[in-house]
Structure 1
């Protein structure tokens, strides 16, 4: 994925990301509040060696001291040091439990040992740190004396140079740090889930998803209309609406498609049902007629015909009657509206739709229609459930594939193109339907010419819409 894909994912899933961000912050804050505050206090011990007056002796002594400091720091958490501390302070803990509270460190290139104690009692932490430092000095003196020369003088001396002070503020929990870490974890989890969800989402969402599947041009986009079932003929019912304008834009793009070719018939189909192919065909036919073209809209869906219902026409006779030779075109083609729009319903549903659509009779009819009309539009059945549309598509001038955003899966659209490719059907382009009007996948009219005129053939300028 590219950077713009991640930006789109963030815009699309910002609610999920924000929720997990606040959940992480809340969890970290709750954890911090439930934790018992702990305090830390430190004491410092200086390690030195005796003997020697020359510079060489002093240098050797300093080197010897630095080498022993690390050993003495490790000695601070051993029972030989801690047991006297437990006795002195009357602690009810074992030496191993006490060692867990103590941290002894020796800064690099120094002869200092810093002893830190963390405890829930600030006073006790200071007392333990001081007591451990004092016990360490005695333990080292006894050890070094027992291994020194006959004079029983320790060559090493430990001096408590900084007593531990009672801390005023706890060192844990670190509420700001915990909240920051919780927020980062929540943010990372939210972004990860958003990317995972987008990766697993196999549906067509926008033009880019189509472009990743095929090089076929996108002829236009139709925005989602929640009232589409109530007013399917939006170009006729509300010609000033933005959705109606998108059909006029589609009309303009179709008029410039393969200019000059003789076969001006197109099949309008889709991968699966309920993608808006029939309403697209009807509205496009009305838009072409409004532009002055002589248009024939043929209901080629011989399984679930819808065109006659949308246009309010009688559908008892139609294409099937022509294909079996029971009627003539002038007997079944019906005019519609005030323009040059004519409609050929599907007629009675036959038992063999595929055979009828693949017959020579249909090829002859298409030739007659191309001579009599400027544009012929066939509304065909979906490509994946049946082969009707593929059979019809190989005999016309072009195929327009309707794809519903948010509904059609990518493999379904691929399957539709594969079905058309298997019969060498010419593909003119893709029309995206049900595009959202808000959000990162929102449809932008500007890409397809909205705002740059209403296509040739219009004689009036529509009123402004909001």
Structure 2
């Protein structure tokens, strides 16, 4: 995926991002509120050698103490230091308990030992730190004294007693909220990406490019009133949706240039993808451009074309194929244009066999000779084989794909059904494209490059 794909995913899942980020920040704040505050107090112990006026001895002594300071700081956690402290303060605790509260560190290139204690009681933390520092001095002097007369070669002294801390060192509310916010944001981004990865629905032209190399002929915007006004080209001729059908008409004229017949099967992967309304509006735009067009209701299972176009459906394609009526008796002219309709007619018990018969092949040849463009409104490809059988005879197929509804594997299966019977795919049309939101695409990429203002173009 490219950067714009990730941005589209984040825009689409912005609510989840905001919610998870807020929950993360809230969790960090809640953790800070319910956590027991801890206070840290430190005492400083300075380590030096016995007094000497010689400069060389001073340098040697300084090097010696720096080497020994690390060893002395390690003694802080030993029983030799902690047990006397426990006894003096009357803590009644085991050395292992106190050891977890006490630590010692030595700043680099110094002879200072920082004795630090962390506890929920600020006063106790300061008392324990000071007592531990004093006991460290006594323990070191006892260990280093090998000659009672000469005394210890090093001297330790408390240069800063532990002060009672005024504020807890943990929990750090600001830090916890910031970490929670970042964690929530990361979870939100991860959720959005995983959701997009698992979502196999086709939403735009880029998704189709991952499935097939066939050209995308156009994009039709989603219209919630499509069932009430399917023939948008005449009902709202100046709308962007109507213009998109005219763009589709223009692109269709460049398809299959080497094929003399201008006939196409209009089908889809699954039902309710807008194939019938697309076929009807496309036929109207072609007739408006001066072409002699025939729209054939080739969906012999659930015919809709006659109802959309407002024509009589009692006689049609099936009646012509079985010889019940003549072609010209079944074909109906629509309006004053050169648009003619051949409804589906009576629903037969064997639609696939009828559409794939030699009678249908003969009729297709005749229709190609008598009309400039013939459009066949066929059933979906996946539920039944009717469209694939018909597409093999017609020689051109336009596959309708509903954006945000059709899955990539369904498109792939539909293409495989066409390939199995050797029917060529002319192109695809994206329908039901959203007009708002992150998945919305301007009509400019499909040829519609101007907008309406106050009802004027």
TM interval, short-chain normalised: over 0.9
Q: Deviations over 1:112-140 (max 9, x none)?
A: 11011122222222222111111110111
Aligned ranges for residues 36-51 of structure 1 at < 5 Å?
36-50=36-50
2:176 to 175, 178, 186: 178
Q: TM-score, normalised by structure 1?
A: 0.93
Q: Work out the CA distance in 1 between the residues paired with 2:404 and 2:451.
A: 29
- Structure 2: tracts of 5 or more residues without a match: none
In the alignment, which residue of structure 1 is the partner of 2:97? 97
Q: Deviations over 1:387-431 (max 9, x none)?
A: 111111122241100001111111110111111122222211100
Q: Work out the CA distance in 1 between the residues paired with 2:121 and 2:213.
A: 72
1:422 to 412, 420, 423: 420
Q: Work out the CA distance in 2 between the residues paired with 1:436 and 1:79.
A: 73
Q: Which range moved further: 407-416 or 306-315?
A: 306-315
Does the C-alpha gap of structure 1 residues 159 and 267 become closer, same or farther in structure 2, counting only changes over 3 Å? same
Please report the RMSD computed on the Cα atoms of aligned residues, expressed in angstroms. 2.1
In the alignment, which residue of structure 1 is the partner of 2:294? 296
In the alignment, which residue of structure 2 is the partner of 1:434? 432
Q: Which range moved further: 178-187 or 443-452?
A: 443-452
Q: Work out the CA distance in 1 between the residues paired with 2:97 and 2:336.
A: 96
Partner secondary structure for residue 31 of structure 1: helix
1:26 CA displacement: 0.7
Does the C-alpha gap of structure 1 residues 453 and 14 become closer, same or farther in structure 2, counting only changes over 3 Å? closer
In the alignment, which residue of structure 1 is the partner of 2:18? 18
Q: 1:264–1:397: 8 Å Cα contact kept in structure 2?
A: no
Q: Work out the CA distance in 2 between the residues paired with 1:388 and 1:401.
A: 14
1:261 CA displacement: 4.0
- Is the aligned partner of 1:141 residue 2:141? yes
1:52 CA displacement: 6.2
Q: Work out the CA distance in 1 between the residues paired with 2:148 and 2:132.
A: 29
Q: Work out the CA distance in 2 between the residues paired with 1:441 and 1:242.
A: 17
Q: Deviations over 1:417-459 (max 9, x none)?
A: 11112222221110011111111110211111213599xxxxx
Q: Which runs of 4+ in 1 moved over 6 A?
A: none
In the alignment, which residue of structure 1 is the partner of 2:252? 254
1:350 to 348, 351, 354: 348
Q: Which range moved further: 88-97 or 243-252?
A: 88-97
1:82 CA displacement: 2.0
Q: 1:305–1:346: 8 Å Cα contact kept in structure 2?
A: yes
Q: Deviations over 1:176-228 (max 9, x none)?
A: 10010000000000000110000011111111100111111101111111122
Aligned ranges for residues 95-244 of structure 1 at < 5 Å?
95-145=95-145, 148-149=146-147, 151=149, 153-244=151-242
In the alignment, which residue of structure 1 is the partner of 2:66? 66
1:308 CA displacement: 0.9
Q: Work out the CA distance in 2 between the residues paired with 1:208 and 1:392.
A: 29
Q: 1:51–1:155: 8 Å Cα contact kept in structure 2?
A: no
Q: Deviations over 1:147-195 (max 9, x none)?
A: x246351112111111112222221111110010000000000000110
Q: Deviations over 1:368-390 (max 9, x none)?
A: 21222111000111111221111
Aligned ranges for residues 297-316 of structure 1 at < 5 Å?
297-316=295-314
In the alignment, which residue of structure 2 is the partner of 1:457? none
Q: Work out the CA distance in 2 between the residues paired with 1:150 and 1:262.
A: 118
Q: Work out the CA distance in 2 between the residues paired with 1:4 and 1:241.
A: 28
Does the C-alpha gap of structure 1 residues 453 and 320 become closer, same or farther in structure 2, counting only changes over 3 Å? farther
Partner secondary structure for residue 201 of structure 2: coil
Q: Which range moved further: 312-321 or 193-202?
A: 312-321
Q: Work out the CA distance in 2 between the residues paired with 1:328 and 1:260.
A: 32
Partner secondary structure for residue 316 of structure 1: coil
In the alignment, which residue of structure 2 is the partner of 1:8? 8
Q: Work out the CA distance in 2 between the residues paired with 1:74 and 1:59.
A: 24
Partner secondary structure for residue 165 of structure 1: coil
1:403 to 401, 417, 420: 401
In the alignment, which residue of structure 2 is the partner of 1:78? 78
Q: Deviations over 1:299-331 (max 9, x none)?
A: 111111111111122212211112222221101
Partner secondary structure for residue 31 of structure 2: helix
1:28 CA displacement: 0.6
